[in-house]
C-alpha cells in the first residue's frame, strides 16, 4: 500500500518543494515516505544524532574526568554547557541537512507531512505532536514564572582586574642567590603548611582537610589554568586581600579566602613562592620580544 501524495487543501494540488532561486529545476515532490522510496531517513537520523549528543553530555562526559583522574567522582556537565553544546549540535545538524537540496527535502518531508495532511488523515503521531505543543509551552511558562529559591547563575571571570598598586610589584626573593632563595622558599613552605594547607592541601591540590567543609572548593593550584596563568604580583594580591578584596565584578561573595593581613609582605611573597613550588608550576613571566 502506498501513501497518497500530500496536497494543498485550498487548491487540491500536490505539495512540492523547490529551493528558491534554482531556476528551472523541476519541483521535488515532498510526498512519499522515505522507507517506501528507499531514501535515507534524514529527519529520523538527525533527531537520533541530536539525542545521542545529549545522552553523551549527560551520561558519558561526567565519567571522563574520573577516567582522567581529575576528579574522584563523576562530575555532571552544567546545564549551561549542555545548552551551549546542544546549540552547536543543532546548528551543525541544520547546516548539514540544508547544504544539499535533496537532503533538505528528505529532512523536511516528515515535518511537512505532519503539518500538511488534511484533517481526515490525522494519525496518532500528529495527535501527539499537536497535543504536546501547548503542553511544552505551558511547561516553559510555568518554569519561567515559578518562584525559585535558587540564585541566578552568574558570569564569573577567571582573573578579575588587579588593582594598579600591585601591577609593578616584584617578588624580592626571586632574585636572591640560589641558597638564599631556597631558604626563603623553605620558610614559605612552613608558612604555607601552617596557614594554607587546611584548605588548599599539602601539595596545593585543593584537597586540604577542611576543603570538604567548604561549599566552594579551594582552588587546585596544580590545575594548569590557575596560578600558572598569572604573574606573581597577582597571587600576592589574592593572598593579601583575599576574597573580600575582590572587585564586585569578581564575585567576592563566592570566595571563602580570608585576607591575610596578619602576614607581612615578605611572608606573603615567601608563601607565594612556596605555593608555586608545591604545585609544580611556574608563575607567568613577563615576555620579551619575539626573536
- Please answer whether residues 50 and 86 qualify as being in contact, where contact means their C-beta atoms are separated by less than 8 angstroms: yes
Count of residues interacting with other proteins (CB under 8 A): 68
Task: Check residue 215 for interaction with other proteins (CB under 8 A).
Answer: yes
Binding window for other proteins (CB under 8 A); candidates: 35-43, 132-140, 185-193, 215-223: 215-223
Shortest CB 237 distance to other proteins, Å: 11
Task: Check residue 84 for interaction with other proteins (CB under 8 A).
Answer: yes
Is residue 289 classed as helix, strand or coil in its secondary structure? Answer: coil
Task: Check residue 291 for interaction with other proteins (CB under 8 A).
Answer: yes
What are the two backbone dihedrals, phi and then psi, of residue 135, each rounded to the nearest 5 degrees?
Answer: -65, -45
Binding window for other proteins (CB under 8 A); candidates: 3-11, 33-41, 195-203, 224-232: 224-232
Closer to other proteins by CB, 123 or 212: give it.
212
Task: Check residue 280 for interaction with other proteins (CB under 8 A).
Answer: yes
Task: Check residue 16 for interaction with other proteins (CB under 8 A).
Answer: no
- Please answer whether residues 256 and 206 qualify as being in contact, where contact means their C-beta atoms are separated by less than 8 angstroms: no
Shortest CB 17 distance to other proteins, Å: 11
Interaction residues for other proteins, span 149-208 (CB under 8 A): 150-151, 153-162, 167
Residue 239 forms beta bridges with which residues?
Answer: none
Tell me how far apart the alpha carbons of residues 91 and 180 are, in angstroms, rounded to a whole number.
59
How many other CB atoms are found less than 10 A from the CB of residue 276? 21
- Please answer whether residues 15 and 26 qualify as being in contact, where contact means their C-beta atoms are separated by less than 8 angstroms: no
**Long-range own/partner contacts, residues 252-261 (CB < 8 A, 24 or more apart):** 254/156, 254/216, 255/216, 256/199, 256/214, 256/215, 256/216, 256/218, 257/218, 260/195
Contact residues toward other proteins (CB under 8 A) are 19-23, 25, 61, 64-65, 68, 70-71, 75-81, 84-85, 88-89, 91-92, 95-96, 98-101, 150-151, 153-162, 167, 215-217, 219, 223-225, 228-231, 234, 249, 280-282, 284-291
Amino acid at each position: 500500500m502506498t501513501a497518497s501524495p500530500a496536497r494543498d487543501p485550498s487548491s487540491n494540488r500536490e505539495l512540492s518543494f523547490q529551493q528558491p532561486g534554482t531556476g528551472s529545476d523541476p519541483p521535488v515532490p515532498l510526498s512519499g515516505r522515505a522507507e517506501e522510496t528507499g531514501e535515507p531517513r534524514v529527519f529520523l537520523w538527525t533527531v537520533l544524532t541530536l539525542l545521542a549528543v545529549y545522552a553523551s553530555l549527560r551520561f558519558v562526559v561526567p565519567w571522563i574526568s574520573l577516567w582522567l583522574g581529575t576528579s574522584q567522582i563523576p562530575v555532571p556537565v552544567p546545564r549551561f554547557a549542555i545548552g551551549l553544546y546542544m546549540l552547536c549540535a543543532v546548528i551543525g545538524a541544520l547546516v548539514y541537512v540544508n547544504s544539499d537540496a535533496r537532503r533538505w527535502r528528505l529532512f523536511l518531508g516528515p515535518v511537512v507531512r505532519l503539518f500538511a495532511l488534511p484533517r481526515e488523515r490525522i494519525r496518532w503521531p500528529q495527535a501527539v505532536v499537536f497535543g504536546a505543543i501547548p503542553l511544552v509551552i505551558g511547561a516553559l511558562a510555568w518554569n519561567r514564572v515559578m518562584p525559585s529559591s535558587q540564585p541566578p547563575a552568574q558570569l564569573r571571570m577567571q582573573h578579575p582586574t588587579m588593582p594598579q598598586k600591585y601591577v609593578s610589584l616584584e617578588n624580592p626573593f626571586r632574585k636572591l642567590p640560589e641558597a638564599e632563595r631556597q631558604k626563603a622558599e623553605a620558610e614559605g613552605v612552613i608558612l604555607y603548611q601552617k596557614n594554607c594547607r587546611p584548605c588548599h592541601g599539602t601539595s596545593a591540590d585543593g584537597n586540604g582537610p577542611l576543603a570538604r567543609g567548604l561549599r566552594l572548593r579551594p582552588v587546585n593550584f596544580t590545575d594548569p589554568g590557575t596560578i600558572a596563568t598569572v604573574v606573581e604580583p597577582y597571587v600576592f594580591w589574592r593572598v593579601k586581600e583575599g576574597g573580600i578584596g575582590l572587585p564586585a565584578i569578581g564575585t567576592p561573595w563566592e570566595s571563602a579566602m580570608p585576607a591575610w593581613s596578619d602576614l607581612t609582605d615578605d611572608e606573603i611573597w615567601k608563601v607565594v613562592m612556596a605555593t608555586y613550588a608545591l604545585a609544580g608550576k611556574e608563575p607567568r613571566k613577563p615576555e620579551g620580544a619575539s626573536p
